[in-house]
Each structure stands twice: as structure tokens, then as C-alpha cells.
């Protein structure tokens, strides 16, 4: 179905933009930084290792900044971004959304700044490492003989930050002027839930002022030839079920025990887990984002071998795709608890209810711009993001967002040991973004904007 849609969409774009794009492509190949100073410098005077592409050197420099939890060096990231803004000749605005938590925004004004803008979002923080499991220092950005760059953040998502910056640098160097304004946004704390970052910032007046029409944010690597784009996310529900029961001596058959109820609850949730796992494994077109995952993650209860406890609790991590009716699903949980026995109750530690997905309809102007990539021999696969990103906050305020980290032929290693990205894949991603940003910023004014 995807292929049918593409042929029509592509034809339209082929006629309208491919000629100019072709010229752009040629220009890139001949002179990547035409229009810039003769000595293209990255790293504030630091020179690139011999033969290395300056974009790769810049990427490795950024990877060495220790923006790692629990105590990220955000100041180092902000200093780096200040320098980038200066090199790009773009204004940079910083908004402290929470104490010590700053969102930075570089803005490239379009030729028609009254139109809705394009947001290029990336987070600056990375998750901790277990250094003993790494082949190299996780913050050295070591590059092996195959060009694989090892570092925390190489996939999630410092690659995308530098790709955005370099794509803008190239577009500017080529003298391109884009119609819509483009904002590059750099947010803190995504890896700890975004509460002091994007979640707070989307409610800030400065966010509204950006007048965003469409957002790009992080995606995931794809081990095959294709690139994955994410148009929605599953909703996380963290739930604890309380199973109270009659206490008593461990030598008797006490009626109405907590453990009997606990067993019933566990069976209901885990039977459902089996069904969903089966659904995923037997359908060719399903990915993890299309089914509900259930994992029992905590059990509490009991004080001694010979004492039947008065309560036992069990906790589950559920991730629910946007296609599920959440009210009905909660009724199901209520039913499981009721069947488990008297006074079994549940409570949520986290319960996300936002089911906004970004349109991938063939007549959606933003989606057409994305699918233009497909004409350029890139295969795109649409998926629901299996976990959570800052995109959920953007979609929740009604802005369409697509998660896209252009990494094909790459194992999914985010948050894993020995996270790496190959330099050729990284460099190709810059060209991909160059085309995509230019296509998005050229999306004609919709009737509401005119
Ligand atoms: Zn991320």
C-alpha cells in the first residue's frame, strides 16, 4: 500500500522539485562547504584527524561532552551550541524552564516568517553507562577501522543533533533560502521523562511563540536497508494491584488469602501477555509498537515463612498502542481484579492517555514532504514508537511530529552497551536531512495559514 501511494506522490514531487534537488545534489558532491571560509573549522580551532570529514570530527567532539545522567554537564552542551549558532550565523535563545534546565533554540528565519515553522528537536542528555561492558571508553568517541564510532549518544541522539546542524550549515552555504522558518531546539532531561524539559516547555509562552506547524524528533536505527519513521507512540501505564487477604498461621488452610488473589491477578495479566506476544509473532506486518506489552516488574508482600500475609502487591509495566480503546482496556483490568477476589484494587503510578498520532494520509502535506525522500531511493517504514520520547508532549499540544533518526544498516543499540554508529551512515544522514528540511520548509501554505 505504501508503494502505491508513493508512485503518485513521487510523480508530483518529481516534476516540481527534483530538478532543483538534482542541482543541489551536484553542488554537495563538488563542494560540501562552498560559500564558507576557505579553512572550514570545527571544534573552535581543533583540527580534524587526517582524512576525516569535518562533520564526523564535530560529531565525535560533541559525543565527548559528558551530558550523562544522573549529573549531566549541560553547561558544556550549551557552550557547544553557542559556538554552533555563531558558526551558522543564527540567533540562539535560551529559556530556563526549570532551575538548571535550559532549552536552547536556534532560529533560521524563512522568507515567509508568518507561516507555521518547522521544528527540529533533539535532546542533549544521554543515559548512564556500565563502562565495564564497553570495548572502549564510552565518552572517547573511539572510531575503529571500519569507521564505527563508539560512544553513549552515538545513536540516541547526538547523531541527529549534529546532522541537523550540518544540514543547515550546508543549506546556508549553498545560499538557499527556505520559505518557512526552521527552529533547532535542544532540550534537557528527555532521558528522565522530560518533566523538567519538553513536558514543561510545551506549556511555556515561548513555545507558543515559535508557531510550529510540524516537528521532527528522534527515531530508532533500522538493521536493514530501510529507514524507520515513527508517527505515534504507545502509552505507558504503570499499575500496582493490591491483593488484601486474611492473615493467619502458616500451618492452616486459611480462606481468602492474599496469595490466591495474587495468583489470579498474575494469571490474568500474564495470559494476556502471551496472547499479545503470539499476535506479534504470528503477524508479518506487526512490530512491537502495534501490540500491548505486559511485564510483571515488582512483587511485594510477606514477613515470615510461617505468617500468611494480610496483603500482597504486584506491579506491571504496560505499553499500549494508540489503536487500543483505553477505556475498554481499563474495564478489562477492573474485571480481572474483580475476578481475583474480594477487595482487590489497583492504582496507577503512570497512566498516559494521549492517543494523538501524526497523519500519514497520502494527502497530508507534511507527509508528502517526508515521502519525497522515498523518491530518492530511500525506503521508509512507518511504525509506532515502542517506548516513549518527547514527541508525545509535542503531539499532545496538537502539533504533528515524526520520529526519524536516519540510521539504516545499523543495529538498535540505544541505551545498550557499545552503542555505535558508522561514520558513513552518519554522513548519509546529513544529506537526508538536507533534503527533508528543505522539502518541509517548502510545504505550501495551507488554507488556514493563507
Ligand atoms: Zn533519545
| Maximum Cα interatomic distance, the chain, rounded to a whole number of Å | 87
In this structure, are residues 312 and 259 in contact, taking their beta carbons and an 8 Å threshold?
yes
Give residue 426 CA to ligand 1 midpoint distance, Å: 16
In this structure, are residues 395 and 356 in contact, taking their beta carbons and an 8 Å threshold?
yes
What are the phi and psi torsion angles at 349 (to 5°)?
Answer: -90, -25
| Long-range contacts of the stretch 296-300 (C-beta < 8 A, 24+) | 296/266, 296/269, 296/270, 298/240, 299/262
Give residue 118 CA to ligand 1 midpoint distance, Å: 20
In this structure, are residues 392 and 355 in contact, taking their beta carbons and an 8 Å threshold?
no
Tell whether residue 191 is among the known ligand binding residues: yes
Q: What is the mean pLDDT of the chain?
A: 89
Give residue 174 CA to ligand 1 midpoint distance, Å: 30
Mean pLDDT for 35-57 is: 62
Residue 125 catalytic? Answer: yes
Mean pLDDT for 295-321 is: 97
Integer-rounded Cα radius of gyration of the chain: 25
Tell whether residue 123 is among the known ligand binding residues: yes
Give residue 123 CA to ligand 1 midpoint distance, Å: 7
Percent with pLDDT over 70 in the chain: 89
Range in 2-6, 197-201, 282-286, 300-304 with the lowest mean pLDDT: 2-6
* pTM: predicted TM-score of the whole model, two decimal places: 0.83
CA distances from residue 178 to 113, 144, 257, 310, 431 in whole angstroms, order as listed: 10, 38, 68, 67, 16
pLDDT at 42: 44
| Long-range contacts of the stretch 35-42 (C-beta < 8 A, 24+) | 35/172, 35/173, 35/174, 35/175, 36/169, 36/173
* pLDDT tier, 50 (very low <50, low <70, confident <90, very high otherwise): confident
Give me the residues near ligand 1 (ion), CB cutoff below 5 Å: 156-157, 218
- Is the confidence at residue 12, as pLDDT, over 60? no
Give residue 302 CA to ligand 1 midpoint distance, Å: 39
Mean pLDDT for 372-393 is: 88
Question: What does the pLDDT look like over 182-205, one tens digit per residue?
Answer: 999 999 999 998 999 999 999 999
Q: Which of 174, 189, 190, 423 is catalytic?
A: 190
The neighbouring-strand residues paired with 186 are 104, 122
Give the integer Cα–Cα distance in Å for 95 and 198: 12
pLDDT at 101: 97
Place of cell 494527502: 363
- Is the confidence at residue 263, as pLDDT, over 80? yes
Mean pLDDT for 114-138 is: 97
In this structure, are residues 66 and 131 in contact, taking their beta carbons and an 8 Å threshold?
no
- Is the confidence at residue 67, as pLDDT, over 80? yes
Q: Which domains does the chain have, with CATH numbers?
A: 54-233+357-442 (3.40.630.10), 240-321+323-351 (3.30.70.360)
Tell whether residue 330 is among the known ligand binding residues: no
Tell whether residue 22 is among the known ligand binding residues: no
pLDDT at 448: 81
Count CA within 13 A, CB hemisphere, residue 288. 12
Amino acid at each position: 500500500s505504501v508503494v502505491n501511494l508513493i508512485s503518485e506522490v513521487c510523480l508530483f514531487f518529481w516534476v516540481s522539485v527534483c530538478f532543483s534537488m538534482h542541482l543541489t545534489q551536484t553542488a554537495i558532491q563538488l563542494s560540501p562547504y562552498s560559500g564558507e571560509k576557505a579553512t572550514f573549522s570545527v571544534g573552535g580551532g581543533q583540527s580534524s584527524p587526517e582524512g576525516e570529514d569535518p562533520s564526523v570530527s564535530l560529531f565525535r567532539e560533541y559525543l565527548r561532552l559528558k551530558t550523562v545522567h544522573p549529573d549531566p554537564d549541560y553547561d558544556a552542551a550549551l557552550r557547544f551550541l553557542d559556538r554552533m549558532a555563531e558558526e551558522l550565523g543564527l540567533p540562539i535563545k535560551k529559556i530556563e524552564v526549570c532551575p538548571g534546565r535550559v532549552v536552547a533554540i536556534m532560529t533560521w528565519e524563512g522568507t515567509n516568517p508568518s507561516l507555521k515553522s518547522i521544528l527540529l528537536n533533539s535532546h542533549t542528555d544521554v543515559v548512564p553507562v556500565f563502562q565495564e561492558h564497553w570495548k572502549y571508553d564510552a565518552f572517547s568517541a573511539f572510531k575503529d577501522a571500519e569507521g564505527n564510532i563508539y560512544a553513549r549518544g552515538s545513536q540516541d541522539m547526538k547523531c541527529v543533533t549534529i546532522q541537523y546542524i550540518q544540514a543547515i550549515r550546508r543549506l546556508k552555504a549553498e545560499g538557499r533560502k527556505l520559505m518557512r522558518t526552521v527552529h533547532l531546539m535542544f532540550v534537557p532531561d528527555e532521558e528522565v521523562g522530560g518533566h523538567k524539559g519538553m513536558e514543561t516547555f510545551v506549556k511555556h509562552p515561548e513555545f507558543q511563540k515559535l508557531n510550529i506547524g510540524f516537528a521532527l524528533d528522534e527515531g530508532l536505527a533500522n538493521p536493514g536497508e530501510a529507514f524507520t519513521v515513527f508517527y505515534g507512540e504507545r502509552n505507558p501505564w504503570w499499575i500496582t494491584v493490591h491483593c488484601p487477604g486474611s492473615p493467619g498461621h502458616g500451618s492452616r488452610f486459611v480462606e481468602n488469602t492474599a496469595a490466591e488473589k495474587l495468583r489470579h491477578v498474575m494469571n490474568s495479566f500474564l495470559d494476556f501477555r502471551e496472547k499479545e506476544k503470539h499476535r506479534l509473532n504470528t503477524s508479518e506486518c506487526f512490530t512491537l509498537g502495534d501490540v500491548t506489552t505486559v511485564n510483571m516488574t515488582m512483587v511485594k508482600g510477606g514477613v515470615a515463612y510461617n505468617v500468611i500475609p494480610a496483603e500482597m502487591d504486584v506491579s506491571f509495566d504496560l505499553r499500549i498502542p494508540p489503536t487500543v480503546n483505553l477505556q475498554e482496556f481499563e474495564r478489562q483490568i477492573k474485571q480481572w481484579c474483580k475476578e481475583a477476589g474480594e477487595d482487590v484494587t489497583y492504582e496507577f503510578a503512570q497512566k498516559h492517555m494521549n492517543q494523538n498520532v501524526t497523519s500519514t494520509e497520502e494527502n497530508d502535506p507534511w507527509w508528502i514532504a517526508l515521502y519525497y525522500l522515498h523518491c530518492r531511493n530511500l525506503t521508509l517504514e512507518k511504525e509506532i514508537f515502542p517506548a516513549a520520547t518527547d514527541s508525545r508532549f509535542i503531539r499532545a499540544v496538537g502539533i504533528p511530529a515524526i520520529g526519524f533518526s536516519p540510521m539504516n544498516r545499523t543495529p538498535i543499540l540505544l541505551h545498550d552497551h557499545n552503542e555505535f554508529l558508522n561514520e558513513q551512515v552518519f554522513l548519509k544522514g546529513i544529506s537526508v536531512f538536507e533534503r527533508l528540511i528543505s522539502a518541509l520548509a517548502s510545504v505550501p501554505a495551507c488554507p488556514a495559514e493563507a
